[in-house]
Structure 1
Amino acid sequence: MCLIVVAWQSHPDYALVVAGNRDEFYARPAAPAHWWQDAPQVLAGRDLAEVIGEAGTWMGMTSGARFAALTNYRAPSEKRTDTRSRGELVAGFLRGESGPHAYLDTVSREQGAYNGFNLLASDLRELWWYSNRSATRRPQRLAPGIYGVSNALLDTPWPKLRSRVGALAEALAADPGQPGASAEPYLQLLADARQAADFELPQTGVSQEWEKLLSSAFIRSPAYGTRASTVLRVRHDGRFDLCERSFDANGRIGEVAYQGRMMLPHDAGTEPAPR
């Protein structure tokens, strides 16, 4: 992902609301969100490119109440070609059994294995964030609230992040929280293609032209842009809905939607509702 806004324990009906855009070159092969055949508990998109390590995913959840999402940290001067795919970090948590703090603590000891990233992980009891570019290099537990992360550290006030965090707060306030409530307001906040003014642009090491292009929440250019917009809402009782729209350079090319119920920790011994 290149933009994620998250509401954690900030709505009477939802434990977690996530809205995110994945930006990538259109030529890089990927599959939209689906239940994985080789890990049936995982619902996520999938990178299909040839990489070092497991290609993995950028955002996903499981029927066992696990969630993870990742953004790249933009620092082209630091980028190496011999590192492992960052997508395997999301897949590793979704496939595993470790709690989010324990998992991120393990990841923090392998800082040199990956280029820069932000990683969010939750078991619906806690939400944690970790970046291998943070000053402390330690996982941080997040208190209830609304957060955003793009291609810098958590809550770095880039223009698109400030505006989309505000838009998430507005969408959340207007969401009635009823099962089946439309995800359209969240998808629309991800569709904002307005670019930042030149004086607001960060200086991350790419050209001014690229800084301008990348400054909008939704990106489109002939070769690179927003490939997927994903919204996940998880209610306090574990019921969830996930909606994802896919795009290419010409516009929307598909949409998938899933509903079900996660098996929460206190549900041990029961089966999750049919997907």
Structure 2
Amino acid sequence: VFAWHVVPGMPVIAAANRDEFYDRPAAPAGPWPQAPHVIAGRDLQGGGSWMGVSLTGPTGPRFAALTNIRAPQERRLDAPSRGALVADYLRGELDAAAYVAELAARPDLYNGYNLVLGDRDTLYWYSNRGKDDPRNGQPLARGRIYGISNGLLDTPWP
């Protein structure tokens, strides 16, 4: 769940759990040794992350969070780790709009996912399975609380 410009002075407030199998090795949130400006948990198997912040970026500090879309019938074993999406954005130089455009150009590269990313001014939701949702890949409306799980944005989930 995340609140976007709901509380004055706090652009985004997020609460999440790690969307992964409990036996998958992970490191708790902290500065990354090879990128100390990134503060995030670390997937020790895939090398990426599920949620984190970067203290620097082309437009200042930024945020990213990821959930997997549960679709076992569509899962490809050769697909890259989706945690790379968070890691690459937080370490990279592209702003959120450019990063979303890059991902939208190759939607089938990864297994299904939701990615929330942005900075203090603009927040995007992008899903490589959300082509029919007009919010997909667009800036999200301010003053709202959003929910996301293993389906699309604001989809009821058990």
- Alignment TM-score, normalising by the size of structure 1: 0.53
In structure 1, the residue matched to 2:51 is: 59
Instruction: Please report how far the alpha carbon of residue 11 of structure 1 lies from its aligned counterpart in structure 2 after TM superposition.
Output: 1.1
Deviation string 1:199-256 (CA, Å, 9 cap, x unpaired) is xxxxxxxxxxxxxxxx3xxxxxxxxxxxxxxxxxxxxxxxxxxxxxxxxxxxxxxxxx
Instruction: Please report how far the alpha carbon of residue 47 of structure 1 lies from its aligned counterpart in structure 2 after TM superposition.
Output: 0.5
Find the partner of 2:26 among 26, 30, 34. Answer: 30
Identity over aligned pairs, percent: 54
1:139 aligns with 2:137: yes
2: CA distance, partners of 1:103 / 1:136: 20
Q: What letter matches 1:140 in structure 2?
A: Q
In structure 2, the residue matched to 1:112 is: 108
Q: What letter matches 1:83 in structure 2?
A: A
SS at match of 1:103: helix
Q: Which one has the largest radius of gyration?
A: 1
How many residues were matched structurally?
151
1: CA distance, partners of 2:79 / 2:20: 18
Q: What letter matches 1:56 in structure 2?
A: G
1: CA distance, partners of 2:121 / 2:93: 14
1:152 aligns with 2:151: yes
Greater helix share, structure number? 1
Instruction: Please report how far the alpha carbon of residue 119 of structure 1 lies from its aligned counterpart in structure 2 after TM superposition.
Output: 0.3
2: CA distance, partners of 1:27 / 1:151: 19
SS at match of 2:14: strand
Q: Does the Cα contact within 8 Å between 2:19 and 2:68 map onto a contact in 1?
A: no
2: CA distance, partners of 1:35 / 1:26: 22
Unaligned 5+ segments in structure 2 are none
Find the partner of 1:85 among 81, 88, 101. Answer: 81
Find the partner of 1:69 among 58, 65, 71. Answer: 65
Instruction: Please report how far the alpha carbon of residue 92 of structure 1 lies from its aligned counterpart in structure 2 after TM superposition.
Output: 0.7
2: CA distance, partners of 1:72 / 1:89: 11
Instruction: Please report how far the alpha carbon of residue 157 of structure 1 lies from its aligned counterpart in structure 2 after TM superposition.
Output: 2.1
Instruction: Please report how far the alpha carbon of residue 19 of structure 1 lies from its aligned counterpart in structure 2 after TM superposition.
Output: 0.5
In structure 1, the residue matched to 2:2 is: 6
- Would you identify which runs of 4 or more consecutive aligned residues in structure 1 move more than 6 Å? none
Q: What letter matches 2:112 in structure 1?
A: G
SS at match of 1:89: helix
In structure 2, the residue matched to 1:235 is: none
2: CA distance, partners of 1:105 / 1:139: 8
RMSD, aligned α-carbons? 1.4
Unaligned 5+ segments in structure 1 are 159-214, 216-275
- Alignment TM-score, normalising by the size of structure 2: 0.90
Instruction: Please report how far the alpha carbon of residue 112 of structure 1 lies from its aligned counterpart in structure 2 after TM superposition.
Output: 1.6
Q: What letter matches 1:128 in structure 2?
A: Y
Q: Does the Cα contact within 8 Å between 2:19 and 2:67 map onto a contact in 1?
A: no
Q: What letter matches 1:103 in structure 2?
A: Y
1: CA distance, partners of 2:13 / 2:75: 31
Query: What are the within-5 Å matches in structure 2 for residues 198-209 of structure 1?
Result: none
Q: What letter matches 1:19 in structure 2?
A: A
Deviation string 1:51-98 (CA, Å, 9 cap, x unpaired) is 4xxx21000001121100000001111011010000000001100121
